[in-house]
Structure 1
Amino acid sequence: MKGVILAGGTGTRLRPLTDIVNKHLLPVGKYPMIHYAIAKMAEAGVKELLLVLGKHSAGLYMEYIGNGRRWGLEVSYKIQEEAGGIAQALALAESFVRPDQKLLVLLGDNLFEDSLKEAVLWFERQPDGAHVFLKKVPDPHRYGVPVLQGDHISTIVEKPEQPPSQYAVTGIYLYDARVFDYIRMQNPSARGEMEITDVNNVYAGQGQLTWTLLNGWWTDAGTHRSLQEAAARLMGSEES
Structure 2
Amino acid sequence: MKGIILAGGKGTRLYPMTKAVSKQLLPIYDKPLIYYPLSVLLLAGIREILIISTPEDTSVYQRLLGDGSILGVEFSYAVQETPRGLADAFMLGEDFIKNDHVCLILGDNLFYGQDLTRILNRAKALEKGATIFGYPVKDAHSFGVVEFDKDLNVLSIEEKPQNPRSNYAVPGLYFYDNDVVEIAKSIKPSSRGEIEITAVNNVYLERKLLNVILLKRGMAWLDTGTPEGMLKAAEYVEAVQSRQGFYIACLEEIAWRRGLIDTAQLRAIGNNLHMTDYGQYILSLIN
> Do the structures match in fold with TM over 0.5?
yes
Paired position in structure 2 for 1:96: 96
Paired position in structure 2 for 1:172: 173
Q: Gapped runs of 5+ residues in structure 2? A: 245-287
Amino acid aligned to 1:61: Y
Paired position in structure 2 for 1:107: 106
Q: Gapped runs of 5+ residues in structure 1? A: none
Does the 8 Å CA contact 1:129/1:203 hold for their aligned counterparts? yes
Paired position in structure 2 for 1:155: 156
Query: Aligned partners of 2:173 and 2:185: how far apart in 1?
Result: 21
The answer as to 2:39 corresponding to 1:36 is: no
Alignment of 1:28-107 (within 5 A): 28-99=28-99, 101-107=100-106
Paired position in structure 2 for 1:230: 233
Query: Aligned partners of 2:169 and 2:195: how far apart in 1?
Result: 19
Shift of 1:111: 0.8
Paired position in structure 2 for 1:206: 207
Amino acid aligned to 1:157: E
Alignment partner of 1:238: what SS?
helix
The share of aligned pairs that are identical, in percent, is: 38
Cα distance change of structure 1 residues 124 and 40 upon mapping to structure 2, 3 Å threshold: closer
Alignment partner of 1:201: what SS?
helix
Query: Aligned partners of 2:72 and 2:240: how far apart in 1?
Result: 22
Alignment partner of 1:105: what SS?
strand
Query: Aligned partners of 1:128 and 1:35: how far apart in 2?
Result: 29
Paired position in structure 1 for 2:187: 186
Query: Aligned partners of 2:91 and 2:54: how far apart in 1?
Result: 14
Q: How many residues align?
A: 239
Shift of 1:205: 1.2
Q: Deviations over 1:105-140 (max 9, x none)?
A: 100101111354334433444321000111101111
Q: TM-score of the superposition, structure 1-length normalised?
A: 0.95
Does the 8 Å CA contact 2:52/2:58 hold for their aligned counterparts? no
The answer as to 2:135 corresponding to 1:132 is: no
Does the 8 Å CA contact 2:54/2:80 hold for their aligned counterparts? yes
Alignment partner of 1:170: what SS?
coil
Shift of 1:38: 1.1
Query: Aligned partners of 1:68 and 1:19: how far apart in 2?
Result: 28
Q: TM-score of the superposition, structure 2-length normalised?
A: 0.80
Query: Aligned partners of 1:189 and 1:77: how far apart in 2?
Result: 26
